Protein backbone atom coordinates (compact mmCIF):
# COMPACT_ATOMS: atom_id res chain seq x y z
CA UNK A 1 0.00 0.00 0.00
CA UNK A 2 0.99 3.64 -0.38
CA UNK A 3 3.27 4.94 2.36
CA UNK A 4 4.40 8.53 2.85
CA UNK A 5 6.85 9.29 5.64
CA UNK A 6 8.10 12.78 6.47
CA UNK A 7 11.14 13.62 8.58
CA UNK A 8 13.43 16.49 9.38
CA UNK A 9 11.25 18.67 11.58
CA UNK A 10 12.45 20.26 14.77
CA UNK A 11 13.02 23.51 16.61
CA UNK A 12 14.88 26.20 14.68
CA UNK A 13 15.61 29.86 15.33
CA UNK A 14 14.07 32.57 13.17
CA UNK A 15 16.16 33.27 10.08
CA UNK A 16 17.73 29.82 10.04
CA UNK A 17 17.17 26.92 7.62
CA UNK A 18 15.76 23.43 7.76
CA UNK A 19 15.32 20.66 5.19
CA UNK A 20 12.38 18.28 5.31
CA UNK A 21 12.39 14.88 3.59
CA UNK A 22 9.52 12.70 2.44
CA UNK A 23 10.13 9.08 1.50
CA UNK A 24 7.37 7.29 -0.38
CA UNK A 25 6.62 3.72 -1.40
CA UNK A 26 3.81 1.60 -2.77
CA UNK A 27 3.29 3.49 -6.03
CA UNK A 28 5.21 4.59 -9.11
CA UNK A 29 6.78 7.76 -7.71
CA UNK A 30 8.14 8.79 -11.10
CA UNK A 31 4.72 9.58 -12.61
CA UNK A 32 3.07 11.60 -9.84
CA UNK A 33 3.33 15.19 -8.74
CA UNK A 34 4.06 15.67 -5.05
CA UNK A 35 3.04 18.40 -2.64
CA UNK A 36 3.96 19.86 0.71
CA UNK A 37 1.21 21.29 2.91
CA UNK A 38 1.22 22.58 6.46
CA UNK A 39 -1.24 22.89 9.30
CA UNK A 40 -1.14 25.22 12.26
CA UNK A 41 -3.78 25.85 14.92
CA UNK A 42 -4.26 29.46 13.97
CA UNK A 43 -4.28 29.15 10.20
CA UNK A 44 -5.70 25.72 9.44
CA UNK A 45 -4.48 23.69 6.48
CA UNK A 46 -2.34 25.55 3.96
CA UNK A 47 -0.86 24.26 0.73
CA UNK A 48 2.85 25.10 0.42
CA UNK A 49 4.39 23.77 -2.78
CA UNK A 50 4.13 21.27 -5.62
CA UNK A 51 6.65 19.60 -7.91
CA UNK A 52 5.72 17.92 -11.17
CA UNK A 53 6.29 14.23 -11.78
CA UNK A 54 9.49 14.81 -13.74
CA UNK A 55 10.67 17.62 -11.49
CA UNK A 56 10.74 20.34 -14.13
CA UNK A 57 7.82 22.40 -12.79
CA UNK A 58 7.38 23.81 -9.32
CA UNK A 59 4.82 26.15 -7.83
CA UNK A 60 4.71 27.83 -4.42
CA UNK A 61 2.29 29.57 -2.14
CA UNK A 62 2.91 33.31 -1.96
CA UNK A 63 3.71 32.99 1.75
CA UNK A 64 6.83 30.89 1.06
CA UNK A 65 7.85 31.97 -2.43
CA UNK A 66 11.53 32.88 -2.57
CA UNK A 67 12.28 31.18 0.77
CA UNK A 68 11.28 27.54 0.26
CA UNK A 69 12.41 25.14 -2.47
CA UNK A 70 10.79 21.82 -3.34
CA UNK A 71 12.81 19.14 -5.11
CA UNK A 72 12.70 15.42 -5.73
CA UNK A 73 15.08 12.49 -6.20
CA UNK A 74 13.40 9.74 -8.17
CA UNK A 75 16.21 7.28 -7.49
CA UNK A 76 15.52 7.66 -3.76
CA UNK A 77 11.71 8.00 -3.97
CA UNK A 78 12.13 11.17 -1.95
CA UNK A 79 10.74 14.69 -2.01
CA UNK A 80 12.49 17.51 -0.19
CA UNK A 81 11.47 20.89 1.13
CA UNK A 82 14.35 23.26 1.75
CA UNK A 83 13.16 26.03 4.06
CA UNK A 84 15.32 29.13 4.38
CA UNK A 85 14.84 32.40 6.25
CA UNK A 86 12.33 30.75 8.54
CA UNK A 87 9.81 32.93 10.36
CA UNK A 88 7.74 32.30 13.47
CA UNK A 89 4.64 32.08 11.30
CA UNK A 90 6.16 29.06 9.52
CA UNK A 91 5.59 27.04 12.70
CA UNK A 92 3.32 24.14 11.73
CA UNK A 93 3.02 20.44 11.10
CA UNK A 94 4.29 19.86 7.56
CA UNK A 95 2.67 17.16 5.46
CA UNK A 96 3.85 15.55 2.26
CA UNK A 97 1.10 14.40 -0.10
CA UNK A 98 0.75 12.66 -3.44
CA UNK A 99 -1.35 14.18 -6.19
CA UNK A 100 -4.20 11.97 -7.39
CA UNK A 101 -3.46 12.51 -11.09
CA UNK A 102 -0.61 10.86 -12.94
CA UNK A 103 1.61 12.81 -15.36
CA UNK A 104 0.11 16.06 -14.11
CA UNK A 105 -1.03 17.68 -10.88
CA UNK A 106 -4.53 18.84 -10.13
CA UNK A 107 -4.21 19.75 -6.44
CA UNK A 108 -6.13 16.73 -5.17
CA UNK A 109 -4.16 15.08 -2.37
CA UNK A 110 -4.93 11.37 -2.21
CA UNK A 111 -2.21 10.06 0.10
CA UNK A 112 -0.67 11.93 3.00
CA UNK A 113 2.03 11.30 5.54
CA UNK A 114 1.65 11.73 9.29
CA UNK A 115 3.49 15.03 9.21
CA UNK A 116 6.58 16.47 10.86
CA UNK A 117 6.48 19.38 13.31
CA UNK A 118 8.51 22.49 12.60
CA UNK A 119 8.76 25.04 15.40
CA UNK A 120 10.40 28.38 14.67
CA UNK A 121 11.35 29.98 17.96
CA UNK A 122 14.25 31.75 19.59
Partner 1 sequence: SYVLTQPPSVSVAPGQTARITCGGNDLGSKSVHWYKQKPGQAPVLVVYDDSDRPSGIPERISGSKPGNTATLTVTRVEAGDEADYFCQVWDGRDDRVVFGGGTKLTVL
Could you say whether residue 28 binds partner 1 (CB under 8 A)?
A: no
SS3 annotation, 38-93: EEECCCEEEEEEEECCCCCCEEECCCCCCCEEEEEEHHHCEEEEEECCCCHHHCEE
Look at residue 102 and give its three-state secondary structure: strand
In this complex, which beta carbon is closest to partner 1, that of residue 106 or of residue 122?
106
Which range of residues in 24-32, 65-73, 78-86, 105-113 is near partner 1 by CB under 8 A? 105-113
CA–CA distance, 46 with 51 (Å, rounded to integer): 16
Instruction: Return the residue of 61, 69, 77, 82 that touches partner 1, per CB under 8 A.
Output: 61
Q: Provide the minimum distance between the beta carbon of 100 and partner 1 in the complex, in angstroms, as a whole number.
A: 6
Interface residue list for partner 1 (CB under 8 A): 4, 44-47, 61-62, 95, 97, 100, 106-115
Amino acid sequence: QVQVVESGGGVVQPGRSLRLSCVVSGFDFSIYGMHWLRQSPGKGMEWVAVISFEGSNTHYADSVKGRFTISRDTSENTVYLQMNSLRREDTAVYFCAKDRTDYNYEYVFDSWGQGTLVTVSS
